[in-house]
Structure 1
Amino acid sequence: MDPLSVPASIIAVLQLSAKVLAHICDVRDAPKERSHCEAELSNLSALLRALRDHVQTGDLSLPWYAAVAELAAPKGPFDQFKQALEGLQNKITDGSQLKKLGETLVWKFKKGEFTSILLRIERLKSLVEIALQMDHYQLSQAIKDDTNFVRTRVSAIQSRVDEIQQEQVNAKHSKMVGRISPTDYPAQQSDIICRRQKGTGQWFLDAPEFTKWLGEPKGTLFCPGIPGAGKTMVAAIVIDHLLKSVQSSSSGVAYVYCNYKAQDEQETSNMLAAMVKQLVQGRPSIAEPVARLHKKHANRGTKPSLKGIFGVLREVVAKYSTVYIVIDALDECRDSDGARSQLLARLKDLQVGQDVRIMATARFIPEIEIEFQTAMKLEIQASDEDVRRYVAGQTHRLPRCIQRDPALQAIVQDKLVEAVDGMFLLARLHTDSLLDKRTVKEVKSTLARLSKGSAALQGAYDEAIQRIDGQLDRDKELAKRVLSWITYARRPLTTVELCCALAVEPGETKLDPENMPDVEDLLSVCAGLIIVDQESAIVRLLHYTTQEYLERIRDTWYSGAPLDIASACLTYLSFDLFKTGSCSSNREFEERLQESRFLNYAA
C-alpha cells in the first residue's frame, strides 16, 4: 500500500472514533462500562494522532513507513477496527432515537459483545504503540499476529453462527416431523430392548433365514410363534441390530409395534405415517415431501389421507437404496375395518418399485399365514439358552435361599427350561412364582408343581391369581382394581392416569393427592402381571395372553369392575374444579389437561 494513504486511513478512524465518543458521552446513567469504553477510545485517539503526525512529517523511504502501511491494508487492523466501531454506531441514531443507545448500553449490551469491542481497541492500541517505537520488524510481526488472531475469531464466530442456524433447522424439522404421527414406537423399542439379557436372541440373528433376508433385495421374512414365545423381544432385538449395524444414509429402518390396546390408533394411515416419521427423523435433507404435505394440510386445517401419506412414504423410501421394515404382532392389529390387510397391501406395493425388505411376527393365524405363503419363514420359540440367561439375570430378585446356593440356582434353571418348552412368557411367570418362597423346601415344592404342556399358561396365570388372593385384603383389592382398570381401559393408561383413577373416592369433590398410591406398590401387589414402560410411563399387562386370561375370569373374579370404573370417571368429571364450564381457548384447555391428568381419559 502507498504510505501516502496511511494518514487518510488514520484520519478516517479518528473521525469515526470521535462520532462514537460524542454519542457515548451523551448517554446518561450508563454503567461503568461506558466510562471504560470512553477512556480507551480517548487513549487510542491520542496515540493515533501521534502516529498521524509521524507519518505526515517523516521520511517515506524508511522501512518503518512500509510496516506502518500494513496497518491500513485492506482487511488490516484499521479496517477491522472500523468494522467494530461501525457495529457499535449502528446501535446509535441521532435525534429522538438517541435514547436507544442508552438502553442498549445500560440494559441490552451483551457482555461478550462489549468485551470484544474493548479487546479490539486494546489490540489496535498495542499496534500503534509499537509503531511509535519506530521498530518496523516488531510492528510487521505484530500486525501479522493480529491479523491471524482476527481471522481465527471470525472463523470461530462463523462456525458458531453455522451451528445456531443448523440448530434452528433441526428444531423446525423435529417440530414438523413430530406432527406427522403421535405414535412413539422408538420409545417402545427402548423399553423392550432394555429388558433384554445380554446374548438373548442371538440364535435368531445367526439363523440362515435371517442372514438371507438381510441380504436379499425385496425379501420378506415371516416369523410366526405360539403365544408367549418371545416374538416381541425378538423383533426388538432385530430392530436394535438393524439400527446399529445397517442403518445409514443409504439404508433406512422403520418399524411398528402393534398392540391389542391401541386398536383405535392402529389405522393404516397412522402406521404408515409412523414409518415416515422414523425414516426422516434427523434427516432434514430428505424431508421435503413431508414438509410439502404438512404445509398443504396445515393451511387447510385438514388431515392427510391414506393416499397422501402413502405417496409421501413412497417418496421418502426412494431416497434410500434399501429400507428395512419390521412389523411386530400383526395378530394384534385388527382387520375388522381392513387395517391389517391395507397395511400389508401397501407394504407389498412399496416392494414393487423399491428395495424394501419386510419382516413380520404374528401368532399362527391362517388369515395372516396366507398373506406370507411365498415368504421365507423362521419360527420364533424360546431357546433353552435364552431361558437360562433370563433366569440367571433374575437371580437378584429371587429369595436369599436361592441367591446363596449355586446348586439350587442350577436346579431352578433346569426345571424352568424343562417346563417352559419354547414359551418365554412362562419363564417369567414361573420365576415370579418363586419370589415369595422362603425355604429350599418351598422352592423345590414349587418347581415340582410347575405347569407344563398346552395348559401351562393357564396354570401359571391361575397360580398368579392365587398369589394375589392370598395377600392381605387391602393389597388383594388394590390388585383387583389395578388389573380391572388396565383390562377394561379403552386405551393404554399412563402411571399418572392410573394412580389418579385409583385415588378417586365416591362422593368427593376434588382429588386428594395424599390418596394416590405409589407405582411400585401397584407392581408389587399384582404378582408380576403388569409392567411399566419406563420411556413412555405406560402401564401394561405382561402380555396379550394376560388380557385374554383376565377377560375370561373377570365376571367371576371382579364382576363389579365396569360399574366402579364408570363411577370413578363420573365422580372425577363432577369435581368442583370443572364447574366453571368449558375452556375459552385452546391454551386454557391445554393447561387444564396438564393440571388434571386424568381428565383426558375420564372424559
Structure 2
Amino acid sequence: MSFGYSVSDFIAVLRLANDVRKRFVDAPGQFTAISEDVKALSNVIRDIDDVLPQRDLTSQQKTELDEIAQAGHNILKDLNQTLDKYQEIGPDAKSLSGKSRRVWKRLQWDQKEIDQYQNRITLNVSALEIWLIQCSNVSFEIKASVDRLNKRQDNRERREEHQAILNWLTPIDYATQQGDFINRRQEGTGQWLLDSDEFQEWLKQRGRRMFCPGIPGAGKTILTSIVVDYLRSKYESDASVGIAYLYCNFRRQHEQKPGDLLASLLKQLVQKKSSLPEDLKSLYQRHKDKKTRPSINELSGALQSVVVGLSRTFILIDALDECQASYQERDRLLSVGFTPQAEAHINLFATSRPVPEFNIHFEGCLSKDIRARYNDVLSYVNGRMSNLRRPRISKYPDLQDAIRREVVKAADGMFLLAKLHMDSLLSKSTPGDIEDALKDLPRGAEGLNTMYEDAMERINNQTEGSQALANRVLYWITHAKRALASVELQHALAVRDGAVGLNEKFVPEVEDMVSDCAGLVTVDEESGIIRLVHHTTQEYLERTQKRWFPDAETLVPRRRNGHCHDLRYVSILRRLRKWFLSYRRRV
C-alpha cells in the first residue's frame, strides 16, 4: 500500500492508530507507555494531515513522506496483529453493565517486545516531526513544530520515569489474576452479594470496612473478583476514585510480605495517573542509587498521601488467611498506620476462612458470610451440563434434573464440591453409572476429602502412562516452593534420569497434564500458572503423600555425573530440585 500524500490515506493510517489505542483500554500498567506512544503517532499524523492541503510538495518531499507514512502504517499493522495473540472477545467476557469487551488472554508480554515497538514508534514520530519542520516555510510554523517535538520528548521522558518508578515499586501485577478469576465466573452468579444490604451500605458510606468469612471452597475468590469488576465498571470514568486489590496465596509467600503488598496497593492507585505524587518520586530518588527498598513506614506514608488526594479509595484483600505474616504484620497491613483523615477515604473489603483472630481486626464492621447460594450453584451445574449431554444422556431428561438437584444439594454451600462432583460424574461410562453415583454424593468438609480420594482413585485406574504423568504433575506442584508456570513444569517433567540435556520429544502437552489429573489441576490462562484447584487440595495431598507417592524420590530425575550442557534444563532443574529438597527438609 502506498500512501503518497493524499488526505484519505492519512485518514486511514490515523484511523488505524486510534483503533490500536482503544485496544489498550484497561490494560495493565506495563502497556501505559506504548499506548501513549501510539497516541503521539496519531497526533503527529493529524498535524501533517492539517498541513498537506496548504502545501505544494516537491517530488522529494512526497517520496520521503510516503516512505515515513508507510513505515508508520507497518508498525501499527504489526502491533495490531501482535495484540490479536494476547486478546480475544469472549462470549462471556462482559462487564456488569452488559458491554462486551476484549479479554487479555496473557498479560505477561515480553518487555523486550514492548521496547522494540516503542523504539520503532518513537523513530517514526521523530521522522514525521522532522519532515513537518522541513516542509514548513513559515517561521512560526517551524517554531510550533519544534515546540511540539520538544514537548513530546519531555512527555516521553516523564512516561519513562513514571514506568521506572512503578516497576521499582513492584513487578507484581494482580490484573492477571483478576482477569482469570472474573473469566471463570458463571454469568449471573454473585449478584446476591452485590444486592445485599451490607454491601450496599459499605458501598455508599465512606470509610467502612466489610469482612466476608467463608468455608473453604465457598467461592470467596470469585466473589472478590466480581466486586472488583463491579467497582471498576461503576467508577471507570471517575479519576478521583482509586481501586486496588490483592489476592493472597500461600504459594506466593516470597512476593507477598507486608511490604510487597503495600507496594502493590500503592502502584495500583497511581499507575493510571498522568503524573506521580512528588512524595513517591522523592522516595524513589532516595533509594534508587543505594539500591535499597523502602520501609513499611515509608510505603505507608506514600500510600496515605495518595489516598488523601482521592475522593474515595476501595481496597480489597482476598484470602487474608493465606497471607503468611505474623499477627503484628497482618495488623500493620490492615491498618497501614493510617491517620483518621486517610481512613475516612478508605473502604476496605476482605475475605478469609473463619479465623477467630480476624474478629478483632473487624470488630464492629459490616460482615457477610460467604456460602455458595443455591441459584449460583445451579447456574454452575447448568453451565457444565453440556459436558455430560452425550447422546445417551440427552435421552433421559429426568436424569439431567436429578444431576442438578443432587449436586446442588450435596454442594452444601461449596462451589468446589460441586466442581468435584461434576468432574466425577463426567468420568462415568453410562447413564446408569451416573444414576448410581447420585444416590449418595458426599457432602461438607468430609465430602471434600472423599472426593479427593475419588479423584486419586480415578488417576490410579488410568493407563500406566497417564497415571505416571498425573502423579509427577501433582508431586511437583505440591512440593514446589513457589507457583510454577506451565512451561517450567513441562520442561521439568521432560527430564529423564541420567540425561545430559533436555530432549523436547519428552515434553508433555499441557492439556494432558491437566486432564490426567482428574480435575485436581488447572491452568490460569492469563498468567500461565499451573496449580492445584484449591488450597484444600494441597492440604489433602500433603496429608496423604506417603500413601499416594510411596516412591517419591523417583519422581525427581537425577542428572548423570552432575553434568548438563543445556542451560534451560540446568536452570529449571536446579531451581525445582532446590525447592523440592527445601520442602523435604521441612516435612
TM-score by length of 1: 0.69
Q: Which shows bigger deviation, 299-308 or 209-218?
A: 299-308
Match of 1:557 among 509, 530, 548: 548
Match of 1:296 among 253, 275, 286: 286
Which position in structure 2 is the counterpart of 1:340?
A: 330
Residue matched to 2:247: 257
Superposition map of 1:243-254 within 5 A: 243-247=232-236, 248-254=238-244
Corresponding residue of 2:214:
225
Deviations 1:413-470 (A, max 9, x none): 1111111111111111111111122322122112223112442111111111111111
TM-fit CA distance, 1:370: 2.5
Give deviations 1:341-395, integer Å, cap 9, x for gaps: 3312326657755411111101111112222122111000001111111111123
What is the match of residue 269 of structure 2? 279
Work out whether residues 218 and 416 of structure 2, in 8 Å CA contact, stay in contact via their aligned partners in 1: yes
1:42 corresponding residue in structure 2: none
* CA shift digits 1:457-504 (9 cap, x unpaired): 111111111111111111111111111111111010111111111111
Evaluate the alpha carbon distance shift between residue 113 and residue 565 of structure 1 in structure 2; reply closer, same or farther with a 3 A threshold. same
Deviation readout 1:246-282 (Å, 9 max, x if unpaired): 3531110111111011123221100000101111112
Whole-Å Cα distance in 2 between the matches of residues 525 and 306 of structure 1? 44
Displacement of 1:159 in angstroms is 7.2
For 1:78 and 1:402, locate their aligned partners in 2 and report how far apart those are by CA, in whole Å.
73
CA distance change for structure 1 residues 420 and 117 in 2, over 3 Å: closer, same or farther?
closer
1:432 is aligned to 2:423: yes
2:169 matched residue in structure 1: 180
Relative to structure 1, the CA distance from residue 292 to residue 432 in structure 2 (aligned partners, 3 Å threshold; closer, same or farther) is: same
Tell me if structure 2 keeps the 8 A contact 1:399–1:435.
no
C-alpha RMSD of the superposition? 3.5
**1:506/1:411 CA distance change after superposition, 3 Å:** same
Select the structure with the greater relative contact order (CA < 8 A; seq sep ≥ 6): 2
DSSP 3-state at the match of 1:366: coil
Aligned match for 1:456, one of 442, 447, 451: 447
CA distance in 2, matches of 1:366, 1:512: 51
- Counterparts of 1:114-263 in structure 2, within 5 Å, are 166=155, 169-247=158-236, 248-263=238-253
Match of 2:383 among 385, 390, 393: 393
1:558 Cα deviation from its structure 2 partner: 0.3
Does the Cα contact within 8 Å between 1:325 and 1:356 map onto a contact in 2? Answer: yes
- Among 249, 256, 259, which residue is 1:266 paired with? 256
| SS of residue in 1 equivalent to 2:482 | coil
Shift of 1:222: 0.6
The AA in structure 1 aligned to 2:360 is I
* CA deviation after TM superposition for structure 1 residue 397, in Å: 2.5
CA contact (8 A) 2:207 2:343 kept: no
Q: Are 2:370 and 1:380 aligned? A: yes
Higher radius of gyration, 1 or 2? 1
* Partner SS, residue 492 of structure 2: helix
Q: Is the 8 A contact 1:391 1:413 kept in 2?
A: yes
Contact 2:218–2:414 (Cα < 8 Å) also in 1? yes
Paired-residue identity, %: 39
Which residue of structure 1 lines up, in the alignment, with residue 295 of structure 2? 305
What amino acid is aligned across from residue 297 of structure 2 in structure 1?
K
CA contact (8 A) 2:308 2:341 kept: no
Question: How far did 1:316 drift?
Answer: 1.5
| Mapped pair 1:487 → 2:478 | yes
C-alpha distance in structure 1 between counterparts of 2:561 and 2:425, whole Å? 39
User: Of 565, 581, 585, which aligns to 1:576?
Assistant: 565
User: Are the structure 2 counterparts of residues 602 and 169 from structure 1 closer, same or farther at C-alpha, using a change threshold of 3 Å?
Assistant: farther
Q: 1:307 offset after TM fit, Å?
A: 1.5
AA in 2 matched with 1:332: E
Partner of 1:126: none
Code of the residue aligned with 2:307 in structure 1: it is: V
**Cross-structure match for 1:497:** 488
Q: Which runs of 5+ in 1 are unaligned?
A: 1-76, 89-107, 122-146, 579-591
**Residues 221 and 377, structure 1, Cα contact 8 Å, conserved in 2:** yes
- Which SS does the other structure have where 1:252 is aligned? strand
Partner SS state of residue 317, structure 2: strand
Return the match for 2:319 from 312, 323, 329.
329
Task: Indicate yes or no: 2:558 matched with 1:532.
Answer: no
Q: 1: CA distance between counterparts of 2:453 and 2:327?
A: 34
Distance 1:288 1:306 in 2: 18
Q: Distance in 2 between matches of 1:328 and 1:223?
A: 9
Matching residue's letter, 1:473: E
Cα displacement (A) at 1:336: 4.1
Is residue 318 from structure 1 mapped to residue 313 from structure 2 by the alignment?
Answer: no
1:263-319: CA deviations, max 9, x gaps? 232211000001011111121324433322222111111121111111111112122
Q: Deviations over 1:44-90 (max 9, x none)?
A: xxxxxxxxxxxxxxxxxxxxxxxxxxxxxxxxx99999xx99xx9xx
C-alpha separation in 2, matches of 1:514 and 1:168: 47
Structure 1 CA distance for aligned equivalents of residues 471 and 446 of structure 2: 24
- Look up the equivalent residue of 2:348 and give its one-letter code: I
Residues 393 and 154 (structure 1 numbering): CA distance in 2 closer, same or farther, change over 3 Å? farther
Alpha-carbon separation, structure 1, partners of 2:147 and 2:260: 41
1:517, 1:338 → 2: CA distance?
A: 45
Identify the residue that residue 120 of structure 2 maps to in structure 1: none
User: SS at 2:210's partner residue?
Assistant: strand
- Report the secondary structure of 1:434's partner residue: helix
Sort the Cα spacing of 1:186 and 1:509 in 2 relative to 1 into closer, same or farther, 3 A: same
CA contact (8 A) 1:572 1:602 kept: no
- Other-structure match for 1:8: none
AA matched with 1:532: V
Displacement of 1:340 = 2.1
Residue pair 1:269, 1:310 contacting (<8 A) in 2 also: no
SS at 1:327 equivalent: strand
Change (3 A) 1:599 1:180: farther
What count of residue pairs does the alignment treat as equivalent? Answer: 460
Runs of 5+ unmatched residues, structure 2 = 1-52, 65-123, 579-587
Contact 2:129–2:145 (8 Å) recurs in 1? no
| 1:601 CA drift (Å) | 4.5
The answer to whether the 8 Å contact 1:399/1:436 transfers is no
What residue number does 1:473 align with?
464
The answer to whether the 8 A contact 2:262-2:299 is kept is yes
Q: Which amino acid aligns with 2:497?
A: P
Partner of 1:415: 406
Shift of the alpha carbon at 1:113?
Answer: 7.7
Q: What TM-score, normalized to structure 2?
A: 0.71
Decide whether the 8 Å contact of 1:496 with 1:597 is kept in 2.
Answer: no
